[in-house]
Structure 1
């Protein structure tokens, strides 16, 4: 009987210990002894699928590197990606699935402003951080919240930075705007107006186009009639190609400035000579196979070997986003909980990476970006015109 009581007591203690361990894991969703589960929402089938697929590839590449090096304090990373097709309703469902079924620890580098906005309430309700969104929307980090961290400056700030530099360097007097008639275009327009106001200049002319437009002849004619010297573009990639092709066709020589939305190798691949001289804002150097940097050449070769395609802007965005997560989790240490991770992130100054990007976060700064670069298409590729401008 005494022997049986000892066995029962031992089983009770073991059960209590197991229960405590279970509670510990439940408090840190997505973290087990051997694994860290993270998620991302990408457009893999919709209008910006090229961006989404490249973003996913960049994320996965950094995950595989971390795991090949032994993981993070012995834990392997597992990335779960859901396709939102650039549809906020699908983004909402994808976020619910990742949080409730896959039990992710964090959402990393989701693409798109409206899709992030659909997912964020689900994440906040379930105490899951939204990290390093592939969006220049201010809502990614404002209002300040412990679970929201961005790393793409808003389009308004991008245009202000670009105008300040170009007006100083080139002496433009007549500056115009051509923008997409939606929230994105309105942000660029606000940046155009704010940038000119800061320079004590008046807008010369502005005109818009509907999303999906392919004919810009009337807009280009209007801006040409206004003798615009520089045109700020609230456009993505294909539209600047069409706009500058039309300008070249009618013999109009003006300069054009886009945002990070324009800063893609797709622009010069599609536009060729027509887009030579196009300016855009960027946080990092685009990767090319013959880049002067051996580190970037090696990265491009590994990316191409892995995915069978050349990397682009969003490949780097995804890679950097996951790299920020990996560095933060490594510095946090073996005791990885949401609180320890966020405490570490809010005190992190990240070293400049091979692409020239650097970040610093704090309890009051959840954007983390030091500044932006001005780049220009020269000789069929994007080159840095400036270093980081704050």
Structure 2
């Protein structure tokens, strides 16, 4: 069933949650083995202070750690130029068009409060990469050479910008959902490094799986089916999700990336396999890494087949709350949803949206833009008046913590250049309304 207007959001949300479903880079290799249950990692805690167990980082081994060739780039006595790179349009429908809007809202709020250390934050016109890796690289060069930005806000589906940004020592902020946010000293994802590059060491997190487990009725067997897109990146994304679920004691009874990238025309074969995957019966949980339209189709088909368990995906958006196929489903979120206005920081965000861009939905991508810009603003505030690119990066990479109480979980730097933040909440769509418990965190550990 088509949902005009709603499908236009075309979040292929899998790529947006750090499970690599839409990244153009394969992330196989190291760290793809099976994970066993570790009782020491089987508890959830608050949205800060989480355990990093055996995961450490050697800052000297991070890429892009040189001095900036132009440390005063984009800075004047009265302004700071901020670049913007995003996948605004895409032939495949995977887009982050409202990421720049969310970012601008936060910068507008900062400017209304006097800017930072007397400097106005000037956001450049967004450069659209069109979801094309080559164009992404070219647009990054333009931000460096033509816009001469001090730092950049990034909401893209791939990480081809990294070479240009590394050469310029360009700090950048975003979701952390592509390889550019991993393994270097200049990329800062609000959820940490979600998709390491091929062959790089991996860390898995226990937070999402434990959050899902807690949503199951008492006594329910922990069994799960994983369904993904038919591409290398999605297959690695399924490995990442599976490792987290295994760490929480789930048995993976179905694990296939069988959804065509061109779209799912008939869900029958997948549904039939899932409904008998656990020794002839369905699993307790189905987690899918899929584009919006495919997720809707799968949810509807599984429900029609009699599935009574938990349907979980990364799909959350207030504009899909009335899609009947999604009623009763869960969305695994890495920060608190925009509906949670009882939380002061979320209420402030909602008020900023209403003031500076009335009518803009509090979608995943617009919120990602807002919180990415928020991280940038706070790091600028901490660096202070004597601002240079090098001073800014020193601030961020010297035991820096980004945390918005109850809204955005803690990340630690430089650690989260190589690992994700192990924090999630599970939003539930019931009677056309999203609700979610408080954010909680598990732990991170080295993947085998």
User: What TM-score does the superposition give when structure 1 sets the normalisation length?
Assistant: 0.81
Matches of 1:361 and 1:160 in 2, distance apart?
A: 17
Is 1:127 matched up with 2:169? yes
Q: 1:319 offset after TM fit, Å?
A: 0.5
Are 1:172 and 1:230, in contact at CA under 8 Å, matched by a contact in 2?
no
Cα displacement string for residues 304-326 of structure 1 (whole angstroms, at most 9, x for unaligned residues): 45243322111111011011111
| Partner SS for 1:52 | coil
Q: 2:236 aligns with which of 162, 187, 191?
A: 187
Q: 2:208 aligns with which of 155, 158, 162?
A: 162
Is 1:174 matched up with 2:227? no
Is 1:263 matched up with 2:316? yes
Alignment of 1:158-237 (within 5 A): 160-167=206-213, 170=216, 171-199=220-248, 202-207=251-256, 208-215=258-265, 216-226=267-277, 227-228=281-282, 229-237=284-292
Cα displacement string for residues 239-298 of structure 1 (whole angstroms, at most 9, x for unaligned residues): 221111112233333321223xx23334434x23x323322321222224x944576456
Is 1:107 matched up with 2:146? no
Seen in structure 2, the aligned counterparts of structure 1 residues 358 and 223 have a Cα distance that, compared at 3 Å, is closer
Provide structure 2 residue ranges, at least 5 long, that are not aligned to the other structure: 1-67, 196-201, 443-448
| Aligned CA-pair RMSD | 2.9
Larger Rg: 1
Are 2:96 and 2:156, in contact at CA under 8 Å, matched by a contact in 1?
yes
Q: 1:163 offset after TM fit, Å?
A: 2.8
Q: 1:26 offset after TM fit, Å?
A: 4.8
Are 2:191 and 2:411, in contact at CA under 8 Å, matched by a contact in 1?
no
Which piece of structure 1 moves more, 230-239 or 75-84? 230-239
Is 1:317 matched up with 2:368? yes
Are 1:359 and 1:368, in contact at CA under 8 Å, matched by a contact in 2?
no
| Partner SS for 2:321 | helix
Is 1:243 matched up with 2:298? yes
Q: Which has the higher contact order (CA 8 A, sep 6+)?
A: 2
Are 2:89 and 2:95, in contact at CA under 8 Å, matched by a contact in 1?
no
Alignment of 1:1-390 (within 5 A): 26-47=70-91, 51-80=95-124, 81-112=126-157, 114=158, 117-131=159-173, 133-137=174-178, 139-143=179-183, 145-152=184-191, 154=194, 160-167=206-213, 170=216, 171-199=220-248, 202-207=251-256, 208-215=258-265, 216-226=267-277, 227-228=281-282, 229-259=284-314, 262-269=315-322, 271-272=323-324, 274-288=325-339, 291-293=341-343, 296-297=346-347, 299-304=349-354, 306-346=357-397, 347-353=399-405, 356-366=407-417, 369=421, 371-390=423-442
User: What TM-score does the superposition give when structure 2 sets the normalisation length?
Assistant: 0.71
Seen in structure 2, the aligned counterparts of structure 1 residues 380 and 368 have a Cα distance that, compared at 3 Å, is same
| Partner SS for 2:98 | helix
Q: 1:122 offset after TM fit, Å?
A: 0.7
Seen in structure 2, the aligned counterparts of structure 1 residues 49 and 345 have a Cα distance that, compared at 3 Å, is farther
Are 2:106 and 2:352, in contact at CA under 8 Å, matched by a contact in 1?
no
Seen in structure 2, the aligned counterparts of structure 1 residues 275 and 175 have a Cα distance that, compared at 3 Å, is same
Are 2:379 and 2:392, in contact at CA under 8 Å, matched by a contact in 1?
yes
Matches of 2:367 and 2:241 in 1, distance apart?
A: 27
| Partner SS for 2:440 | coil
Q: 1:25 offset after TM fit, Å?
A: 11
The residue aligned with 2:48 is: none
Q: Greater share of helix residues, 1 or 2?
A: 1
Seen in structure 2, the aligned counterparts of structure 1 residues 90 and 249 have a Cα distance that, compared at 3 Å, is same
Cα displacement string for residues 353-385 of structure 1 (whole angstroms, at most 9, x for unaligned residues): 5x6113343334436736222222233233224
Q: 1:327 offset after TM fit, Å?
A: 0.8
Seen in structure 2, the aligned counterparts of structure 1 residues 341 and 279 have a Cα distance that, compared at 3 Å, is same
| Partner SS for 2:252 | coil
The residue aligned with 2:31 is: none
| Partner SS for 1:204 | strand
| Partner SS for 2:152 | strand
Number of paired residues? 355
